[in-house]
Amino acid sequence: MTEQSPALDNLLTENRTFPPTEEFAAQANAKADWYEKADADREAFWAEQAERLHWDTKWSQVLDWSDAPVAKWFVGGKLNVAYNCVDRHVEAGHGDQVAIHWIGEPGDTRDITYAQLKDEVSKAANALISLGVGSGDRVAIQLPMIPEAIVAMLACARLGALHSVVFGGFSPAALRSRVDDAEAKVVITSDGQYRRGKAAPMKTNVDEALDGAPSVEKVIVVRRTGDDVPMREGRDLWWHELVDSQSAEHTPEAFDSEHPLFILYTSGTTGKPKGILHTSGGYLTQTAYTHHIVFDHKPGEDIYWCTADIGWVTGHSYIVYGPLANRATQVVYEGTPNTPHEGRHWEIIQNNKVSIYYTAPTLIRTFMKWGENIPAEYDLSSLRVLGSVGEPINPEAWMWYRDNIGAGKTPVVDTWWQTETGSIMISPLPGVTAAKPGSAQRPLPGISAKVVDDSGTEVGKGGGGYLVLDKPWPSMLRGIWGDEERYRDTYWSRFADQGYYFAGDGAKYDNDGDIWLLGRVDDVMNVSGHRISTTEVESALVSHPTVAEAAVVGATDPTTGQGIVAFVILRGSAAEGGEEAVQELRNHVAKEIGPIAKPRQIMVVPELPKTRSGKIMRRLLRDVAENRQIGDVTTLADSSVMELISSGLKSGK
């Protein structure tokens, strides 16, 4: 019998652990026995979590999975999502509590209480009604990080209209394809946006995008930068003229638990963007539940800050729906982290006494590159929970985060989830879990995930393979807008026999059975028959003191099938690189995780190509490594990065 090679090799070991302090554990929202309790009766557990919300009509059945893979949660229940996020807090006497401390990039600020938010959302809802928007209609939103973005989303939710939020910087073509696919009736945008200290246009891009768009009847324009913009007669309306004059009275209607809430497009690695569809009751239950236990959030006490853009699912679930359902007071910041200086985030934390901070590894690595002396200048003692999302966090970045931002003692939660999962699925629980740097560790109580091999059989401890979700969960996607076939194909066909949801990520169990995420399976490298994850090699590179960021790809190799090509950004004085530095890094990887993972080639680059949510686009780096024409760059945060990389390499830098 020949031994079957593993779906994914397990190369990196990590022995550091950080158990919670007694003090934290004593006050934690999460309880250790919830895992068992949820396993004993999952539906009863979720029914209990759904009680966090106000239901106008109670459900008659927790889960209907008879039409799998399309789930129905809290069947027969009725609720209004916006009422749950706003009105009920006002009715409970918290109208004067600040919901949003908004901070504009140029330094202007706005504090919005729950009572004010209720008025704003009601007025915006009345404005949309005046334009003929009703239940089931689609509204596209392309706005910077300003309060109107949140108000617009909640106004749609209040009316049972679906929002489709598009990143502020997306090109006209990207906006247009999303508007067309969803057949949006109304588009909400702004005159411009502040980016890196400058006002940049937005409305002109939207005009270009919507030229001849068949579904669009009205465009609402928020004034943000004050720049002159052309307004098209009969189509375009100013937000302040339309919304401000509306009545602040609006009675929310209760919608079915499975009423659609929003569509959010995710590009995936290739092909046409997928319009991920989420519905109401299950989505709000799980976003509220996870925000409560994963961040240990205490309403009225904590100041919460999630740095995501509203155009990313993280902004939907952990700026808008989860936190507002839980009556959070949160910071919303409009701008970039280095405007006007590299301490901006720490200054905001200090001045607003932020206690919970949730950001992405890409930003943490950027902060590392800028140096720990910058956060050291600020008082960050208000922080008590730190979170990470979007990519695997390298153990060294995790340690840096805890040591330099969390004073060496705050819990760090590495939260794994996807646009498709709607909410956090795998994460340590602060106050419960002994944390390990770089590991998302364990599915949350009520959630089930496994690491399986090619045949769908669960791998043992120490084994690597594919991450699957083997049981339905309340905030799961209900489909891809307009394409049910693609929904089944993309997520449910790979392990159809077992009925597992295939997440597209590689993962492994360590010897304690904790889960480690290893990057997208499309990026896995095959070197002489060894299946090596990009994450492990990148983490080994980042653990070298000269490396700020690293991305690795597999490039065709005549002898080994694929060879590992690494792109690295070096720190400070090391930045020049040179042959010696590169040799040292190759040896460092071999020493950390074994000779098989030693990169064939290391290229020193000034930047890496990233999406707007900060994910490295390895596909484009593979094009460079294999000397191909560079592919589609439309979802890059900064499309000039690829030129920068290619020209630097050609000139031998």
Binding site for ligand 6R9 (CB under 6 A): 266, 313-314, 389-392, 414-419, 440, 503-505, 517, 520, 613
Structure-token pair, residue 624: 């460079």
Residue 137 or 536: the one with the smaller Cβ distance to ligand 6R9 is 536
R_g over Cα of the chain: 24
212 Cβ contact list (under 8 Å, min separation 6)? none
Q: How far is the CB of 318 from ligand 6R9 (least distance, A)?
A: 9
Q: What is the closest distance, in whole angstroms, from the C-beta atom of residue 115 to ligand 6R9 in the complex?
A: 31
The answer to whether 641 is a known ligand-binding residue is no
Whether residue 338 is annotated as binding a ligand: the answer is yes
Q: Is 419 annotated as a binding residue?
A: yes
User: 96 labelled as ligand-binding?
Assistant: no
- DSSP string over 76-116: T-EE-HHIIIIIHHIIIIITTSEEEEEE-TTS-EEEEEHHH
Residue 528 known to bind ligand: yes
Tell me how far, at minimum, the Cβ of 406 lies from ligand 6R9, in Å: 17
Is there a binding annotation on residue 390?
A: yes
Question: Which residue lies nearer to ligand 6R9 by CB, 148 or 420?
Answer: 420
Name residue 163's amino acid.
Answer: H
Cβ of residue 613: shortest distance to ligand 6R9, in angstroms?
5
Q: Tokens 């309790």 map to which residue? A: 37
Q: Which helix (H) or strand (E) holds 579?
A: helix 579-593
Minimal distance, residue 441 CB to ligand 6R9, in Å: 10
The Cα 125–Cα 140 span in angstroms is 15
In the complex, minimum distance from the CB of residue 398 to ligand 6R9, in angstroms, rounded to a whole number: 11
313/432 with CB nearer ligand 6R9: 313
- Is 624 annotated in some ligand binding site? no
Q: Are 187 and 142 in contact (CB under 8 A)?
A: yes
Is 418 annotated as contributing to ligand binding?
yes
Minimum distance between the CB of residue 438 and ligand 6R9, rounded to whole angstroms? 9
Is residue 619 part of an annotated ligand binding site? no
Q: Where are the beta strands (DSSP E) in 142-204?
A: 162-165, 186-190, 192-195, 198-201
Question: 56 labelled as ligand-binding?
Answer: no
Give me the residue label for tokens 């916006």.
82
- Specify the residue, 417 or 501, whose C-beta has the smaller distance to ligand 6R9: 417
Task: Evaluate whether 184 touches 140 at the Cβ level (below 8 Å).
Answer: yes
Nearest approach, Cβ of residue 516 and ligand 6R9 (Å): 9
CA 50/CA 284 separation, integer angstroms: 8
Asked whether the beta carbons of 355 and 385 are under 8 A apart, the reply is yes
Collapse the DSSP code of 74 into the 3-class scheme (helix H, G, I; strand E, B; otherwise coil) and give the result.
Answer: strand
Taking alpha carbons only, the member of 301, 256, 235 closest to residue 98 is 301
**Residue 547 marked in a binding site:** yes
Neighbour-count burial of 221, counting CB atoms closer than 10 A to its CB (0-12 exposed, 13-18 middle, 19+ buried): buried
Q: In angstroms, rounded to a whole number, what is the distance separating the alpha carbons of residues 389 and 435?
A: 15
314 assigned binding-site residue: yes
435 vs 517, which CB is nearer to ligand 6R9?
Answer: 517
CB neighbour list of residue 217: distance below 8 Å, 6 or more residues apart: 131, 132, 185, 186, 235
Cis peptide upstream of residue 340 (ω within 30 degrees of 0): yes
**Among residues 384 and 615, whose Cβ is nearest to ligand 6R9?**
615
Q: CB of 388: closest distance to ligand 6R9 in angstroms? A: 6
Helix (H, G, I), strand (E, B) or coil at 58: coil
Q: Which residues contact 585 (CB under 8 A, 6 or more apart)?
A: 541, 544, 546, 547, 566, 568, 599, 602
Q: Is 189 one of the annotated binding-site residues? A: no
Q: Which is nearer to ligand 6R9, 257 or 415 (CB)?
A: 415
346 is in an annotated binding site: no
SS (H, E, C) 5-54: CCCECCCCCCCCCECCCHHHHHHCCCCCCHHHHHHHCHHHHHHHHHCCCC
Q: How far is the CB of 417 from ligand 6R9 (least distance, A)?
A: 5
Please report, for residues 84, 125, 219, 231, the alpha-carbon distance to residue 247 in angstroms, rounded to integers and kept in the order given: 20, 10, 21, 25
> Toward ligand 6R9, which CB reaches closer, 9 or 137?
9
Q: What is the dihedral of CA 337, 338, 340, 341, to 10 degrees?
A: 120
Give 77 or 443: the residue with its C-beta nearer to ligand 6R9.
Answer: 443
CB of 51 to ligand 6R9, least distance (A): 26
Smaller CB separation from ligand 6R9, 125 or 503 = 503
Of 364 and 503, nearer to ligand 6R9 (C-beta) is 503
Annotated binding site for Mg(2+): 542, 544, 547
Annotated binding site for ATP: 390-392, 414-419, 505, 520, 531
Point out the annotated binding site for CoA.
Answer: 195-198, 314, 338, 528
Q: Please state the residue numbers annotated as binding site.
A: 195-198, 314, 338, 390-392, 414-419, 505, 520, 528, 531, 542, 544, 547
